Amino acid sequence: MLEKQHTIVSSITLKGTGLHTGTSCKMTFKPAPENYGIKFIRVDLNDRPEIPANTDYVIDVSRGTTLGLGEAKVHTVEHVLAAIVGLQIDNLIIELDGIEPPVEDGSAMPYVLALQKAGFQKQEAPKDYLIIDQTVMYHDEANQIDIVALPLDDYRLTVMVDYQNPALGSQHTGLFDLEKEFVSEFASARTFCFLSEVEDLTNSGLIKGGEIDNAVVIVDKKYNENELNELRKKIGIKEKVIIGSNGILNDKKLRFKNEPVRHKLLDLIGDLALIGAPIKTQILAARPGHKANVEFAKKIRKLYQQKKLEKKYQLVKKEGVIFDSEAIQKILPHRYPFLLVDRIVELELDKKVVGIKMVTINEPFFQGHFPGKPIMPGVLIIESMAQTGGVLLLNTFENPDDKLVYFMQINNAKFRKPVVPGDQLYLEVKLKNRKSKVVMMSGRAFVGDVLVAEADFMAAIVDRENKK
């Protein structure tokens, strides 16, 4: 796999009709600088809104992946993104004067050919690989969907589909070398659907740009000639439609014997591009779809964001420690004598954080609380939990160094056992809710296995003024 970032040499444009919206669109690929990433720009709208290609901007996954920012949307981005990932392009501007990229032939190959024609430019910055070092799983019991990422110093994907339908049957495929296999074995695999789905898709306002030549329609239901004609008119297809003898509408020939599952792998590559970084992992997927792909990508993206934060704030990685005291002072504004967490030992962004506070006799508050009977004030235990919880908010705002967290409310506070010099406080904080600049968290403090304090608290994130 390539180790340096890449963009394209020159701009190139494609024109056509969107698969689902049926609207015309001109799409132009343009070179982008290092560390820019992939962004869609709606040049037909005021202010030319830029929509980054990551899971934070996914707004719909019905029969395709749609990105949005405010009123701006871009439908069906997965085939374009698959081409970009398959060619290992890191930085790219994608300008559109419409709401959906041209569908072309329903595969990623037209985009691949355009990008190849534009040429590739090696850049100086290294690729920002996310190396998966732990198993990540997604399971949807209702739809029997499983997607797993396993540690591997490469990028491989294996996909299986089984629609329990004789028209398609069970199929599987695998990509083991992105550079050698993507273009020749997967890029030309076309989108597909069952004939029985076509009417429902039309009634749902989808496939308005669907044509016989931009999708594989699998015949899974008997239709007489009159029913086919009615369906053709409803969809808006002008050419004649026949059932055919090979199980594909109009006897269209498959480009691969297992073209449908290859297209599922193509979709998966495109949807996983929304992680926002190239990844090294082995992906195993059973019956994937856009909704599952995006939910799985969100889990991986959280891991990517967490690793970026660890890299940013931790000077020297220590075993069993996510952030040490030096890193914490980069993250939190608190200083002696009011910095009340010594290290972070566990972190799941937007979910949970665990911190450690070593309680020593040198704590300044023990001089007055209480002379001869030193006990850590309960409010400071809550403050320790709150400071620990502040680490959970690192990815909430673009520049966390410019923010402060203010208490607004403390509820259900209970102090169950005194905390004294020599104790080690184990601070577990979970994010319960977040709305705009207000967060709700719950915290528990332990000494050993003994719960010593707990509380729910609400906090507001405000701008830090007069930052030096």
Domains of the chain: 4-124 (3.30.230.20), 136-303 (3.30.1700.10), 314-463 (3.10.129.10)
Q: Which has the closest alpha carbon to 101: 183, 55, 41?
A: 41
Question: Alpha carbon 171 to chain centroid distance?
Answer: 27
263 assigned to active site = no
* pLDDT of res. 236: 58
Spell out a b/e string for 223-247, using b for 16 or more CB atoms within 10 Å of the CB, else e. Answer: beeeebeebbeebeeeeebebeeeb
What is d(CA 447, CA 377) in angstroms, rounded to the nearest whole number? 15
Residues 6+ apart with CB under 8 A from 465: none
What is d(CA 354, CA 385) in angstroms, rounded to the nearest whole number? 9
* pLDDT of res. 310: 81
* pLDDT of res. 315: 57
Pull the structure tokens for residue 167: 């028209």
Q: 3-state DSSP call for residue 453?
A: strand
Please tell me which residue in 172, 263, 290, 334 is annotated as part of the active site. Answer: 290
* pLDDT of res. 70: 93
Gyration radius of the chain over CA positions: 27
Measured in degrees and rounded to the nearest 5, phi and psi for residue 66 equal -115, 130
Parallel/antiparallel/unpaired status of strands 38-42 and 92-96: parallel
Per-position pLDDT tens, the chain of length 468: 779 999 999 999 999 998 878 899 999 999 999 999 999 999 999 999 999 999 999 999 987 999 999 999 999 999 999 999 999 999 999 999 999 999 999 999 999 999 999 999 999 999 999 999 999 999 999 999 999 999 999 999 999 998 776 767 899 999 999 999 999 999 999 998 887 777 676 666 655 566 666 778 887 777 777 777 776 666 656 666 767 666 777 778 899 999 999 999 999 999 999 999 999 999 999 999 999 999 999 999 999 988 888 887 765 667 778 899 988 998 888 999 999 999 999 988 888 999 999 999 999 999 999 999 999 999 999 999 999 998 887 666 666 667 788 889 999 999 999 999 999 999 999 999 988 789 999 999 999 999 999 999 998 888 877 544
Parallel/antiparallel/unpaired status of strands 155-162 and 279-286: parallel
Identify the sign of the CA torsion 226, 227, 233, 237: negative
* pLDDT of res. 209: 62
* pLDDT of res. 182: 98
What is d(CA 103, CA 305) in angstroms, rounded to the nearest whole number? 32
290 assigned to active site = yes
* pLDDT of res. 386: 93
* pLDDT of res. 35: 95
Say what angle helices 259-272 and 290-313 make with each other, to 10 degrees.
30
* pLDDT of res. 468: 42
Tell me the whole-structure pTM to 2 decimals. 0.81
CA 354 to each of CA 110, 345, 385, 423: distance values in angstroms, whole numbers, following the listed order: 49, 6, 9, 16
Q: Which has the closest alpha carbon to 357: 439, 438, 453?
A: 453
The one-character DSSP state at 462 is E
CA angle 384, 389, 395 (to 5 degrees): 145
Q: Which has the closest alpha carbon to 379: 435, 445, 314?
A: 445
Measured in degrees and rounded to the nearest 5, phi and psi for residue 259 equal -55, -40
